[in-house]
Chain A
Amino acid sequence: MSKVFSRRDLDFLLYEWLDAEALTARERFAEHSRETFDAFLDVSQQIAERDFAPHNRTGDLNEPTFDGETVTIIPEVSRALRVFAESGLIAAGFPAEHGGLQLPHVVQRACFLWFQAANTGTSAYAMLTAGNAHLLLAHGTDEQISRYVHPMLEGRFTGTMCLSEPQAGSSLSDVATKAVRQDDGTYRINGGKMWISGGDHELSENIIHLVLARVEGAPAGVKGLSLFIVPKKRLDTGERNGVVLAGLNHKMGYRGTTNTVLAFDDAIGELVGEEGRGLAYMFHMMNEARIGVGSGAVALGYTGYLHALAYARERLQGRPVGDKDPAAPPVPIVTHPDVRRMLLASKSYVEGGLALVLYAAKLLDEPSPENDLLLDVLTPIVKAWPSQWCRLADDHAIQVHGGYGYTREYPVEQFYRDNRLNSIHEGTDGIQALDLLGRKVTMKGGAGLALLLDRIIATADKTPDLGGPVKKAADRLAATTATLWAGGDAEKALVNATAYLDAAGHLVIAWMWLEQRRAAEGKEGAFYEGKRLAAQYFVTHELPRIGPLLDLLDSGDTLLRDMDDAWLG
């Protein structure tokens, strides 16, 4: 059985639950069939296991270096990315007129998960490139698409997103990079960007940076931000553009991906779309980017869980509590209740998180006003919940390995370090909490939240034995939301936003477990027993966590607002 990821679970979720095959009835996906989906998943697994997983640790132990001239990365990365590009996976989800295969998001997401689980550091270059290409496809001109997107889809160019600056991370309204319009229609970009993943390397012919900057004279705040295409090398002359690598950041995990400080020194940039719409274009892609982060967190948690499970079945230690005979042979640690607790909790997190990620991806495949609204509400949860809870699965994986798990002899400590990033990038968990409570549940008069809760309750009603507590929790979340916003005081409503995100997240995952439970209904065998077990575990052991969170929210507690930071010492 693969320790990278679970094809069995993907098959269950895609075919037995989400009915991905039914998507082929849509014109966009008509060329596809279960046969092609399976073939894509087969190839993804093969490449991930043979070309990505083997250098996961090597990349971690040998992070990219910069000698002042060139960034050096272990050669396995370039080889893996070449194989990845040749497979055509980057382009697979794109429209046929751009060389794509119109693969449904949900299947492409399932394919990507293999790579994110096998080697998150190497796969990041490809994911960033796909995100960049998607944005330009949506908002670039035909000429920009042919000059930049097509080479990216062919694997010749890679892409980045340059948003953050040293002084402006979560608060992008403070972005200070300047753009000055030139007579020839181009812009000159000056400023510094921070945390730019894939910002410099020799892995591709060119790197296409998408840079958020403020055109001279533009207003302060987010409305003054525009988006620019800034290639590392000029396409016309092949000379270096004014993009200078100021240094590499040395990270806790995700070490296979270069993370850079970039200085833009009179770099030539091309405007994307219209001036002043930069952040809107970025946010247009944010749903997908955030599903990508949630998916990465699931992948790392899932592979950690599979490693822990395999280890717990092999590792002999101790005897059952009731066994007094010291000469009795030791038992595999998987038989000890506390180890089972960690494994079952982890199973419920990673399989629950996976269901949510695929559910969200499928909403992108079936666009409708209702589905778009539902995805908007779910996005902060899809991003933040796996980042926290699938990371906890990696934490448990270390614990199951005991002292060995804390050493570099075993891979689980790396999964944990790699996964730690997911709560930070693409909007921290705190930002997701504000997005959910401050924007998503209030937008359109609360229609998004109402829709989500309707769906949850509909599933709960159809699941008599486990649905009761879930329905109750959904009703409570609705009431709490109303209480929080009753006064219309945003500062007061949002003071405990993280507790709200945690509660909403656990409710949504409980719903995902009811859904899986229903898909396993009447089916026999260990796999389906496992689904029923984990559903029951989540509803009985995990869902009750949200009671105290909602109590706190209902109480109107404002301790976090009222305190004085001087009291923190």
Chain B
Amino acid sequence: MNIVVLVKQVPDSGAERTLSADFSVDRASSSNVINEMDEYAIEEALKIKEAHGGEVTVLTVGPAGATDSIRKALSMGPDKAVHVQDDALHGSCAVATSKVLAAALRTLSPDLILSGAESTDGRVQVVPHMLAELLGVAALTGARKLTVDGSQLTVERQTDEGYEVVTAATPAIVSVWDTINEPRYPSFKGIMAAKKKPVQALTLGDLGISGDEVGFAGATSQVLEFNKRPARTGGAKVVDEGNGGEQLVSYLASEKFV
């Protein structure tokens, strides 16, 4: 099976993050890592390859610095990578990014596209759906389990209430949550091997996309302002003067926990 995993480099969600003056993600002052959910997608791709054979390709759209994350992804075990890099991409919205990804995916003709269900920077969860639309393939999103039987894919789709079982034939795109597996660590051998794995560089020109379709110029949405999350407040202190239980229950009720 020809599997492509979408891997996005994001600022480490465990560290301080901010936006640049143009409201794009500030990469320079943050520590950049593989989007956490994408590691689960990589693991799932590797497991499918181990069980059914095939090839795993990492596809990344991002600036030059994203190479670090590509090498890290490759050190987990994928066979090769494609890196779409073009200065004109700076400031691209989800629609434009999907266009670029779709164009790159057409060159790779995958049977299965795997991605994280969301990225920790944007958190909009729309790219897998947009890709399905652009490529005319099925979207099985939010998977907590994926079973491959020949060309038939069965997914347990995680919802707030439980899960839905959905199926589709390949080619399809499956986005995964962190409940699906436990990603492996890169092995030391994998780290050495990753140095020699091919990384194909593509520009917008290679994909037949013009600069004004992407970046700030082609953006369909605009960030007008951003604010830091307000600092945590001290919270309410409940003193038990015989009615602590009642106070606790009314607090839980006010927060709609009960």
Chain A residues packing against B (C-beta within 8 Å): 31, 33, 35-36, 39-40, 42-43, 46-47, 83, 86-89, 91-92, 101, 103
Pick from A33, A42, A87: contact of B187, CB under 8 Å: A87
Residues of A within 8 A of B184 (CB): 86
Say if the beta carbon of B71 comes within 8 Å of chain A.
Answer: yes
B66 CB → nearest A CB, Å: 15
Pick from A42, A47, A88: contact of B189, CB under 8 Å: A88
- A40 and B185 within 8 A (CB): no
A37 CB → nearest B CB, Å: 10
In the assembly, what is the distance between CA of A31 and CA of B191, in Å?
A: 11
Say if the beta carbon of B244 comes within 8 Å of chain A.
Answer: no
Residues of B within 8 A of A43 (CB): 185-188, 191
Say if the beta carbon of B195 comes within 8 Å of chain A.
Answer: yes
In the assembly, what is the distance between CA of A35 and CA of B192, in Å?
A: 10
- B192 and A31 within 8 A (CB): yes
Say if the beta carbon of B8 comes within 8 Å of chain A.
Answer: no
B47 CB → nearest A CB, Å: 15
A39-B186 in contact given A31-B192, A101-B192 (Cβ < 8 Å): yes
- B189 and A36 within 8 A (CB): no
- A40 and B187 within 8 A (CB): no
Query: What per-residue 1/0 map shows which CB atoms of B153-195 lie under 8 Å from chain A?
Result: 0000000000000000000000000000000111111011001
- B72 and A39 within 8 A (CB): yes
In the assembly, what is the distance between CA of A47 and CA of B186, in Å?
A: 10
Residues of A within 8 A of B187 (CB): 43, 86-88
- B188 and A89 within 8 A (CB): yes
Closest to A32 in B: B192
Query: A36-B195, A43-B191, A89-B188 known; 20 other A-B pairs, CB under 8 Å?
Result: A35-B71, A36-B192, A39-B72, A39-B75, A39-B186, A40-B188, A40-B191, A43-B186, A43-B187, A43-B188, A46-B185, A47-B185, A83-B185, A87-B185, A87-B187, A87-B188, A88-B187, A88-B188, A101-B188, A101-B192
B29 CB → nearest A CB, Å: 15
A101-B72 in contact given A35-B195, A36-B195 (Cβ < 8 Å): no
B141 CB → nearest A CB, Å: 28
Residues of B within 8 A of A31 (CB): 192, 195
In the assembly, what is the distance between CA of A103 and CA of B195, in Å?
A: 15
In the assembly, what is the distance between CA of A33 and CA of B196, in Å?
A: 13
Query: What per-residue 1/0 map shows which CB atoms of B69-96 lie under 8 Å from chain A?
Result: 0011001000000000000000000000
Residues of B within 8 A of A103 (CB): 188
In the assembly, what is the distance between CA of A92 and CA of B72, in Å?
A: 18
In the assembly, what is the distance between CA of A250 and CA of B195, in Å?
A: 47
Report, nearest first, the 10 A-B pairs whose CB atoms are least far apart: A88-B188, A39-B191, A88-B187, A92-B188, A88-B189, A43-B185, A87-B187, A43-B186, A101-B188, A36-B191
Can you spell out 8 A-B residue pairs with CB atoms less than 8 angstroms apart? A35-B71, A39-B71, A39-B72, A43-B191, A47-B185, A83-B185, A89-B188, A91-B188
In the assembly, what is the distance between CA of A101 and CA of B190, in Å?
A: 11
In the assembly, what is the distance between CA of A87 and CA of B189, in Å?
A: 8
Residues of B within 8 A of A87 (CB): 185, 187-188
Closest to B184 in A: A86
Pick from B75, B185, B186, B189: contact of A101, CB under 8 Å: B189
Closest to B190 in A: A88
In the assembly, what is the distance between CA of A87 and CA of B184, in Å?
A: 9
B196 CB → nearest A CB, Å: 10
Residues of B within 8 A of A33 (CB): 195
In the assembly, what is the distance between CA of A200 and CA of B162, in Å?
A: 46
Closest to A102 in B: B192
Residues of A within 8 A of B191 (CB): 36, 39-40, 43
Using a CB-CB cutoff of 8 Å, which residues 52-74 of chain B contact chain A?
71-72
Interface centre among B75, B185, B186, B189 (most CB of A within 10 A): B185
A99 CB → nearest B CB, Å: 9
B32 CB → nearest A CB, Å: 13
In the assembly, what is the distance between CA of A103 and CA of B188, in Å?
A: 10
In the assembly, what is the distance between CA of A42 and CA of B187, in Å?
A: 11
In the assembly, what is the distance between CA of A87 and CA of B190, in Å?
A: 9
Closest to A36 in B: B191
Residues of A within 8 A of B189 (CB): 88, 101
Closest to B187 in A: A88
Residues of B within 8 A of A40 (CB): 188, 191
In the assembly, what is the distance between CA of A43 and CA of B185, in Å?
A: 7
Query: What per-residue 1/0 map shows which CB atoms of B225-249 lie under 8 Å from chain A?
Result: 0000000000000000000000000
B91 CB → nearest A CB, Å: 29
In the assembly, what is the distance between CA of A83 and CA of B75, in Å?
A: 16
Residues of B within 8 A of A89 (CB): 188
Residues of A within 8 A of B188 (CB): 40, 43, 87-89, 91-92, 101, 103
Closest to A108 in B: B188
Residues of A within 8 A of B71 (CB): 35, 39
Closest to A91 in B: B188
Closest to A96 in B: B192
In the assembly, what is the distance between CA of A43 and CA of B191, in Å?
A: 10
In the assembly, what is the distance between CA of A92 and CA of B190, in Å?
A: 12
Closest to A86 in B: B187
Closest to A37 in B: B191
Query: What per-residue 1/0 map shows which CB atoms of B104-143 lie under 8 Å from chain A?
Result: 0000000000000000000000000000000000000000
B136 CB → nearest A CB, Å: 38
Residues of B within 8 A of A92 (CB): 188
A39 CB → nearest B CB, Å: 4
Residues of A within 8 A of B185 (CB): 43, 46-47, 83, 86-87
B197 CB → nearest A CB, Å: 13
In the assembly, what is the distance between CA of A168 and CA of B202, in Å?
A: 68
Residues of A within 8 A of B72 (CB): 39, 42
In the assembly, what is the distance between CA of A47 and CA of B191, in Å?
A: 15
In the assembly, what is the distance between CA of A556 and CA of B45, in Å?
A: 73
Interface centre among A36, A39, A83, A92 (most CB of B within 10 A): A39
In the assembly, what is the distance between CA of A220 and CA of B10, in Å?
A: 67
Closest to B75 in A: A39
B134 CB → nearest A CB, Å: 34
Residues of A within 8 A of B195 (CB): 31, 33, 35-36
A220 CB → nearest B CB, Å: 46
Residues of B within 8 A of A39 (CB): 71-72, 75, 186, 191
Interface centre among B71, B72, B184, B189 (most CB of A within 10 A): B189
Interface centre among B75, B186, B189, B192 (most CB of A within 10 A): B192
In the assembly, what is the distance between CA of A101 and CA of B189, in Å?
A: 7
B213 CB → nearest A CB, Å: 34
In the assembly, what is the distance between CA of A35 and CA of B71, in Å?
A: 10
B188 CB → nearest A CB, Å: 4
In the assembly, what is the distance between CA of A104 and CA of B192, in Å?
A: 14
Closest to A103 in B: B188
A530 CB → nearest B CB, Å: 21
In the assembly, what is the distance between CA of A481 and CA of B214, in Å?
A: 75
In the assembly, what is the distance between CA of A40 and CA of B189, in Å?
A: 10
Closest to A89 in B: B188
A459 CB → nearest B CB, Å: 34
In the assembly, what is the distance between CA of A33 and CA of B194, in Å?
A: 13
In the assembly, what is the distance between CA of A167 and CA of B184, in Å?
A: 47
In the assembly, what is the distance between CA of A36 and CA of B191, in Å?
A: 7
In the assembly, what is the distance between CA of A91 and CA of B188, in Å?
A: 9
In the assembly, what is the distance between CA of A89 and CA of B191, in Å?
A: 12
Closest to B191 in A: A39
Closest to A90 in B: B188
A161 CB → nearest B CB, Å: 25
In the assembly, what is the distance between CA of A39 and CA of B191, in Å?
A: 7
